[in-house]
Structures are given as C-alpha cells and as structure tokens.
C-alpha cells in the first residue's frame, strides 16, 4: 500500500551515453539469463553431457595415472638400487640404468600412445556430443527470434540504436553460449584435464596443435549450427513451430541422406546432412577414417558454406523485415 | 547522476529547460513508397515542441511515419529532420534512435523477464552504462508507479502495468522526443486516467516533446497542445487544438428554458438558419439549437429579438465551439478547416 503523500517525479538523466556500448553482448546475456529461468529443461538437457564429461575426465586421468605409476616404478627401482649399499652396487646401478635406457623408448611410445588415446577419446566425446548440441541449441535457440516476432519485441529492440546485424550478433551469442556449454566447455575441460594430469604437461607440449584443432572445430560446429537454428527461428512466428522446423530440417536431411544412400548406393546423398559434413571435416582434421563419409573434403566445405550463406540470406531478409517493424 | 535516495524538489519547482520554438520534426515533400504503394505522398509537416497529437484513419501512413521518425525506414524522397538529425545514412538513422523514445502499441514484452530487468537491458542497449541503466530503470519505474512490481515477472503484469512499463522503457535514456503509440489502449478508466496524467506531466511539466498517436480524440484533447491529422499519406491538418476548436463567430448555441418549438418558429420567422445542437457530455439531458448568424451580423441581438417576440426565455446564448472530433472528421472528409498552420501547409 502506497502512502497518499508519496509523489513520483521524473528525474532527468544527467549522465552520458557510452561511445561504444557492447549492445550485442547485452542482448546475448539477456537471452542467456532468460534461458536459465527454467530449471527443468536445463537439468534434462545437460545431465548427459555433464555426466559424460566427468566420466571421460576420469578416464583421461586414469590413463595418465597408469603411465605415471610406470615412470615412478622405474625411478623407484633406480633409487632402491642406489641405497642398498651392496658390494655389487655399481654393477646393479649400471644394470638398472641400462634397463631404464632400454625402456625409455618403450616409455616414450607409451606416452605417445596415451596421448593418441586421449585425443581419440576427446574426438569420440565431441562426436557423441554433436547430437546434444543440436538438441540444446534447438531447444534454447528456436525461440530466440520466433518469440520476438510473436510478441513483437522487435519493436522494442529496433527502437534502440542497433542494426539488424547487432541484433543477429546478440542472438547468435545466446545460441552459441548454449551450444558451447554442451561441447566447447566440456572439450576445454577434458583437454585441460589431459594437460594437467599428463607428466610435465606433455599433452600440452606435444598436442597443442590438436588442442587448437579441437577448439576450432567445436567453435565452427556450434557457430554454423547456431546460424541454421536462428535462420529457421526467424522464419517461424512462434517457438514451437521453430522447434519443429529445427528438428524437422535435421531429421529430414539426415534420414533423407541415409535412405537415399541405401537406396541408390552412393554416399553423396549424405552431403545433405550438416552433421555428416562436419564429420567429414573432422575426419580430415584428426586423421580418422570411419568409411561413412568417403567423399572429397572440398565437397563438405562447399556444403557447409552453402548452409552458412543460405542461413545468412534468410536472416538478413527476415531481420530486415523485423527492423522495419513488420 | 542522481540517485534514487536523494531528495528531489517538487516537479513544478524543477523547471524544465526552456523549450525551443524550433520544430522537433521537420518533413518536406517526404515520400515513402513500398513497390507501387505510396504510404507517404509528399508529406509536409512540422511537429512543434511540446505535446502533439497525431491522428489519422487506418492506412493513413501513421505507422510508416513512426518508422521514419525512429530512423527505421529510409525515405524514398524528400527531406526530413528528426531531433536535429537527418536520416540520410544508416549511421544517422541509428543515431536518431538515441534521441527518440518509443512506446509501441502492441504488448511486445518478454514474459520471463522482470520489469527492472527489461528496462535496464533496453537502457544498456541504448548506450547507458550498467550502473546508469540500473539506476535509471529504478527511477523511471518509480515515476510510472511500478516500484512495487519491478521484480515481478512480466507475465504477472496487468494491462495497465504493461502499458506503464512500456512508457518506462521509452523514458529510460531520457530522450528528446517520445513517440507514444496508443498509450491508453486496453486500459480501464482508472488506468487510462493514470496514463494520461503521466503523458500530460511529461509533455507539459517535464519539457518532453511528445508525439501521441491515438484514435481516442479525448485523450489527445486532454494531453496535447497541437494536433496533426494525416490522411492518405498527407498532412491534412496541423494546428493548435485551442485554435482549431476556437469559437465560430457566426454560430451561436442557444438554449430555451421554455418550449423550444416556439423558439424554432421564431427563428424561422426571422430568417435565421438553425440546426439541433449536439448534446454536451457534461449535460447530456439538455438540448439546444445552433443558430447561424447572417453575413454582416456580428452579435446575437437578432436572436434575443426573435426570442422576445415569441415570448421565449433564453437559458443560455454562447458562441458555438467545435469539438476535436468535428475538426478531425472535417479534415478526414476533406472539408475546409479553419486552422493555423505553424508553417506547415494544410490541405
């Protein structure tokens, strides 16, 4: 209950507007905060990625731990020999050192093998998480533009000094955040774990190009999928339709590609599917061969480029209409 | 920057900056076409400072005009100056939006947000720092009397609260020009009165330039000093409400205390033309006649003479004033309107 004597007055703003405010970041963070409002979907969508990340991190830890134990055993063997004071000490030291030298090649091979195992493990993790990226970005990204259209919130946003590209960057930031939470952040955690638990940061020293490739690949994966999700969202006028559109596009292109491949016995049909194209790029980046995506790398790059161009064209048109108040 | 805790002088003592007489918006031969459709056809218009009502029937070009004033649209041809800026380049058009506050007609509020969150976010998007945006959000929410509901999710807001919240977000960056699109839409009488009080205060006491788009003529009449009527993409009428509704020297409203029929016969006998007067909202039961004086006759003696001859006692005789509704309808129908132009032509 308000006191009858209370009178609100208008207070003029005496400050100044910032010369370079980060409007896209403000919009992106606003979208992220809204996403956190509903706890149950977050719990359901992120449960599997979180559990998987923790499990894989433990596995990486165990792999390097086993190798560390072996190193320790060698070192311990040499120390024991030195402290025994036996008359044959010099002979035994010499023998132990010879043994260590002889095994050093084996140790180096084991380190390389462990690092390769970890890299394969991280790639396998990314591959598995790619499904959840689509799921999470579909869930959180489908409504980002569609709901603004339905509620006509674009009238509020575009009454501010922003262009359609600032708006797109803001929405893209939100979508990328959710995708990054599923695949980029866990990948970074796994790679960091590998760096820290490997002896003398050997993983970082030897695999830094792979680390960069993993991060670059996951970023590109999330960015391109976010663009596609936003383009579909901009075509719908409510979230549920956009959600159906997102999953519809993925299912149709994926299942359509698989069916056509089986019917006509040619893998080229799989080019329709965006995740398949990313799989092809990943196999090229990480020197893997699954046999499911046997086509030239250039074809996949062209297809991904086509997806990006079409998404940007759709977004430019739709956001232009929203900017004009349609 | 003021803080919410500092004591402030009363509104009437805190005089706003003296208002310039320069038009806030100046449009010359402005045309906007969509394909073959001409939404604005050589629009010439000056929006004077202060509260101004923008009226027009559906499809008149009001929405296009708002888009142009917000810098969202590029004119096809013609010249425009909005809040001192010309929307010739994209950067200028974006710059205009720093100086204009817009309250849209539709709901357009994201339901999961709270009031303070929405206003501060939009403030930051305009260019306020994080601290300023939060302080301003609280100040303007206080001003529109949403201080107790500021942390509630917007889906729990009533229509009146939503309207006031939209006004708050338009005010957050303290713009020079406020574009209010149907601010009383869907409000109950109390909510409408509150909204009109705020609009009136902003336009008349706080020195804000307000362009009020409304189809509710009493709202415009109550809160605005000037009115502009747009019809088919052209300014059909522009002038101060006081002048537009000024008394017509040749029309007199007459009320008889006795039999009105006797008065009618007396007026007919004196060759005076008359018609039934429209009822007054303040006295709906009272009837009367509007008598048109012959050319060359400047006073009402001729009416008194006719009434005296018929033995009718007159209750009142006063110059007939037009209502804004009559002025609007005459402008829309294309009749001549005795309006002052303030530099802008009228059709």
pLDDT digits (tens, 9 = 90+) for A141-163: 999 999 999 999 988 999 999 98
Q: For residue A126, what are its two tokens?
A: 């990314």
Q: What is the C-alpha separation between A46 and A40, in angstroms, rounded?
A: 10
pLDDT in tens, A192-208: 999 988 888 888 888 88
Judging contacts by C-beta atoms under 8 Å, the chain A residues touching residue B162 are: none
> Is B1–A30 a contact, with Cβ atoms under 8 angstroms apart?
no
Q: Which residue of A has its CA nearest to B73?
A: A324
Judging contacts by C-beta atoms under 8 Å, the chain A residues touching residue B121 are: 26-27, 30
**Measured between CB atoms, which of A11, A37, A324 is closest to B112?**
A37
What residues of chain B score a pLDDT lower than 50? 1-16, 336-347
Check if B125 contacts A (Cβ < 8 Å): yes
| Token pair 């004119």: residue | B75
As a whole number of Å, the CA-based R_g of chain B is 24
The pLDDT confidence band at residue A95, using thresholds 50, 70 and 90, is low
pLDDT of residue A88: 62
Are B279 and B286 in contact, with CB atoms under 8 Å apart?
yes
Higher pLDDT, B203 or A72: B203
Higher pLDDT, A236 or B5: A236
pLDDT of residue A110: 72
Are B101 and B125 in contact, with CB atoms under 8 Å apart?
no
Instruction: For residue B331, give how far its alpha carbon lies from the nearest alpha carbon of chain A (Å).
Output: 28
Proportion of chain B above pLDDT 90, given as a percent: 29
DSSP per-residue letters across A196-246: HHSGGGHHHHHHHHHHHHHHHHHHHHHHHHHHHHHHHHHH-SSHHHHHHHH
| Token pair 């189809």: residue | B215
> Is B11–A10 a contact, with Cβ atoms under 8 angstroms apart?
yes
Q: For residue B207, what are its two tokens?
A: 């020195």
CA A30 from centre of chain: 21
| Token pair 């433990």: residue | A58
Using a 10 angstrom Cβ sphere, with 0-12 exposed, 13-18 middle and 19 or more buried, the burial of residue A109 is: exposed
pLDDT of residue B342: 40
φ, ψ of residue B87 in degrees (nearest 5): -80, 55
Q: What angle do CA B5, B9, B11 make, to 5 degrees?
A: 115
Q: What is the C-alpha separation between B294 and A199, in angstroms, rounded?
A: 110
Check if B62 contacts A (Cβ < 8 Å): no
Q: Which of A67-81, A235-249, B78-92, B122-136 has the lowest average pLDDT?
A: A67-81
**CB neighbours of A70 closer than 8 A, spacing ≥ 6?**
A107, A110
The pLDDT confidence band at residue A104, using thresholds 50, 70 and 90, is low
Higher pLDDT, B166 or A15: B166
pLDDT of residue B341: 41
pTM of the model: 0.80
Judging contacts by C-beta atoms under 8 Å, the chain A residues touching residue B97 are: 159-161
> Is B126–A323 a contact, with Cβ atoms under 8 angstroms apart?
no
Q: Which of A10, A39, A319 to mutate to test the interface with B (most CBs of B within 10 A)?
A: A10
pLDDT of residue A80: 52
Shortest CA distance to B77 belongs to which of B42, B45, B44?
Answer: B42
pLDDT at A83 over 80: no
pLDDT in tens, A38-55: 888 889 999 999 999 999
> Is B10–A161 a contact, with Cβ atoms under 8 angstroms apart?
no
Q: Which of A28-37, A58-67, A105-114, B87-96 has the lowest average pLDDT?
A: A105-114
Q: Which residue of A has its CA nearest to B138?
A: A11
CA B46 from centre of chain: 14
Q: Which of A13, A17, A28 to mutate to test the interface with B (most CBs of B within 10 A)?
A: A13
Q: Which residues of A touch B (CB under 8 A)?
A: 2, 7-15, 17-18, 21, 23, 26-27, 30, 33-34, 37-38, 147-148, 151-163, 323-325
Judging contacts by C-beta atoms under 8 Å, the chain B residues touching residue A12 are: 16, 174, 206
Q: State the distance between the two ends of chain A, measured CA to CA, in whole angstroms.
A: 41
- Would you mind telling me the total number of residues written for chain A in this entry? 326
Positive or negative CA dihedral for B185, B188, B191, B197?
positive
Higher pLDDT, B82 or A176: A176
pLDDT of residue B236: 85
**CB crowding B261-279: b at 16 or more within 10 Å, else e:** eebbebbeebebebeebee
**Measured between CB atoms, which of B72, B101, B201 is closest to A323?**
B72
Shortest CA distance to A114 belongs to which of A122, A33, A262?
Answer: A122
Instruction: For residue A317, give how far its alpha carbon lies from the nearest alpha carbon of chain B (Å).
Output: 15
Region class of A119: left (phi > 0), else alpha (psi between -120 and 50), else beta: alpha
Check if B145 contacts A (Cβ < 8 Å): yes
pLDDT at A1 over 60: no
* Strand pairing class (B289-292; B247-256): antiparallel
Check if B73 contacts A (Cβ < 8 Å): yes
- Bridge partners, residue B331, by sequence: none
pLDDT in tens, A207-229: 889 999 999 999 999 999 999 99
Q: In this structure, what DSSP letter does residue A152 have?
A: T
> Is B117–A325 a contact, with Cβ atoms under 8 angstroms apart?
no
Q: Any alpha helices (H) in chain A, and if so which ranges?
A: 23-36, 39-83, 89-151, 154-157, 164-179, 185-197, 202-235, 239-264, 274-285, 297-323
Q: What is the C-alpha separation between A220 and A140, in angstroms, rounded?
A: 18
A39-83 vs A23-36: helix crossing angle, rounded to 10: 90
> Is B94–A161 a contact, with Cβ atoms under 8 angstroms apart?
yes
| Token pair 């509903």: residue | A38
pLDDT of residue B102: 93
Region class of A137: left (phi > 0), else alpha (psi between -120 and 50), else beta: alpha
**Measured between CB atoms, which of B66, B72, B173 is closest to A13?**
B173
φ, ψ of residue A323 in degrees (nearest 5): -65, -35
| Token pair 């430019």: residue | A316
Instruction: For residue B13, give how far its alpha carbon lies from the nearest alpha carbon of chain A (Å).
Output: 11
pLDDT of residue A107: 65
Instruction: For residue A44, give how far its alpha carbon lies from the nearest alpha carbon of chain B (Å).
Output: 20
The pLDDT confidence band at residue A86, using thresholds 50, 70 and 90, is low
> Is B97–A161 a contact, with Cβ atoms under 8 angstroms apart?
yes
Check if B1 contacts A (Cβ < 8 Å): yes
Q: What is the C-alpha separation between B137 and A4, in angstroms, rounded?
A: 23
> Is B72–A23 a contact, with Cβ atoms under 8 angstroms apart?
no
Q: Which residue of A has its CA nearest to B68?
A: A324
Q: In what order do the strands lie in the sheet with B37-47?
A: B37-47, B25-34, B77-82
Judging contacts by C-beta atoms under 8 Å, the chain B residues touching residue A238 are: none
pLDDT at A308 over 80: yes
pLDDT at A134 over 60: yes
Judging contacts by C-beta atoms under 8 Å, the chain A residues touching residue B195 are: none
Q: How many of the other CB atoms lie within 10 Å of CB of A198?
A: 24
Q: For residue B38, what are its two tokens?
A: 């001409």
Q: Which of B5, B98, B108 to mutate to test the interface with A (most CBs of A within 10 A)?
A: B108
CA B24 from centre of chain: 15
User: SS3 letters for chain B?
Assistant: CCCCCCCCCCCCCCCCCCCCCCCCEEEEEEEEEECCEEEEEEEEEEECCCEEEEECCCCCCHHHHHHHHCCCCCCCEEEEEECCECCCCHHHHHHHHHHEEEECCCCCCCCCCEHHHHHHHHHHHHCCCHHHHHHHHHHHHHHCCCCCCCCCEHHHCCHHHHHHHHHHHHHCCCCCEEEEECCCCCCCHHHHHHHHHHHHHHHHHCCCEEEEECCCHHHHHHHCCEEEEEECCEEEEEEEHHHHCCEEEEEEEEEECCCHHHHHHHHHHCCCEEEECCCECCECCCCCEEEECCCCCCCCHHHHHHHHHHCCCEEEEEEEECCHHHHHHHHHHCCCCCCCCCCCCCC
* Strand pairing class (B273-276; B226-231): unpaired
- Bridge partners, residue B100, by sequence: B177
Higher pLDDT, A285 or A7: A285
Q: What is the C-alpha separation between B141 and B139, in angstroms, rounded?
A: 5
Q: In this structure, what DSSP letter does residue A268 have?
A: G
């Amino acid at each position: 209950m308000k006191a009858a004597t209370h009178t609100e007055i208008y207070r003029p703003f005496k400050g100044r507007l910032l010369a370079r405010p980060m409007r896209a970041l403000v919009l992106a963070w606003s979208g992220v905060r809204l996403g956190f409002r509903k706890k149950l979907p977050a719990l359901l969508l992120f449960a599997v990625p979180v559990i998987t990340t923790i499990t894989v991190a433990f596995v990486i830890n165990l792999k390097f731990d086993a190798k560390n134990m072996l190193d320790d055993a060698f070192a311990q063997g040499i120390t024991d020999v030195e402290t025994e004071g036996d008359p044959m000490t010099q002979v035994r030291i010499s023998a132990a050192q010879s043994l260590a030298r002889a095994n050093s090649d084996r140790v180096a091979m084991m380190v390389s093998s462990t690092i390769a195992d970890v890299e394969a493990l991280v790639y396998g993790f990314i591959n598995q998480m790619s499904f959840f990226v689509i799921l999470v970005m579909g869930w959180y990204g489908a409504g980002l533009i569609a709901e603004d259209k339905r509620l006509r919130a674009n009238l509020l946003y575009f009454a501010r000094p922003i262009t359609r590209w600032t708006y797109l960057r803001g929405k893209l930031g939100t979508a990328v955040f959710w995708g990054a939470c599923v695949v980029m952040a866990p990948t970074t955690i796994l790679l960091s774990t590998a760096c820290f638990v490997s002896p003398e940061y050997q993983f970082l020293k030897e695999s830094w190009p792979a680390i960069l490739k993993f991060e670059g690949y996951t970023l590109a994966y999330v960015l391109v999928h976010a663009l596609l999700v936003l383009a579909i969202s901009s075509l719908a006028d409510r979230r549920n339709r956009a959600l159906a559109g997102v999953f519809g596009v993925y299912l149709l292109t994926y299942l359509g590609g698989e069916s056509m491949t089986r019917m006509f016995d040619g893998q080229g049909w799989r080019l329709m599917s965006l995740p398949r194209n990313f799989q092809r790029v990943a196999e090229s980046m990480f020197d893997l061969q699954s046999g499911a995506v046997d086509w030239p790398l250039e074809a996949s790059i062209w297809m991904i480029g086509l997806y990006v161009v079409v998404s940007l064209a759709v977004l430019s048109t739709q956001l232009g209409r929203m900017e004009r108040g349609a | 920057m003021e803080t919410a805790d500092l004591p402030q002088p009363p509104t009437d003592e805190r005089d706003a900056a003296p208002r310039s007489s320069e038009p806030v918006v100046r449009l010359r031969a402005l045309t906007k076409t969509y394909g073959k459709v001409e939404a604005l056809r050589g629009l010439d218009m000056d929006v004077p400072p202060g509260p101004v009502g923008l009226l027009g029937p559906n499809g008149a070009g009001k929405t296009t005009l708002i888009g142009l004033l917000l810098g969202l649209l590029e004119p096809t041809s013609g010249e425009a100056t909005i809040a001192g800026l010309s929307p010739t380049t994209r950067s200028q058009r974006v710059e205009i939006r720093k100086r204009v506050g817009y309250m849209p007609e539709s709901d357009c509020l994201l339901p999961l947000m709270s009031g303070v969150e929405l206003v501060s976010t939009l403030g930051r998007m305009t260019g306020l720092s994080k601290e300023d945006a939060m302080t301003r959000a609280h100040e303007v929410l206080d001003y529109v009397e949403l201080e107790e509901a500021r942390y509630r999710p917007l889906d729990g807001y009533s229509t009146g609260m939503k309207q006031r919240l939209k006004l708050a977000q338009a005010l957050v960056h303290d713009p020079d020009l406020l574009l209010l699109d149907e601010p009383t839409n869907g409000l109950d009488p109390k909510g409408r009165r509150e909204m009109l009080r705020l609009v009136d205060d902003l336009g008349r006491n706080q020195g804000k330039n307000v362009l009020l788009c409304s189809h509710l003529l009493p709202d415009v009449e109550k809160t605005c000093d000037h009115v502009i009527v747009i019809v088919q993409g052209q300014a059909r009428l522009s002038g101060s409400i006081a002048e537009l509704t000024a008394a017509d020297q040749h029309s007199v409203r007459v009320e008889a205390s006795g039999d009105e029929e006797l008065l009618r016969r007396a007026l007919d006998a004196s060759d005076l033309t008359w018609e039934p007067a429209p009822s007054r909202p303040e006295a709906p039961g009272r009837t009367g006649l509007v008598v048109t004086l012959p050319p060359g006759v400047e006073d009402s003696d001729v009416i008194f003479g006719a009434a005296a001859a018929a033995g009718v006692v007159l209750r009142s005789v006063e110059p007939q004033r037009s209502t804004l509704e009559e002025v609007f309808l005459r402008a829309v129908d294309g009749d001549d309107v005795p309006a002052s132009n303030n530099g802008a032509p009228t059709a």
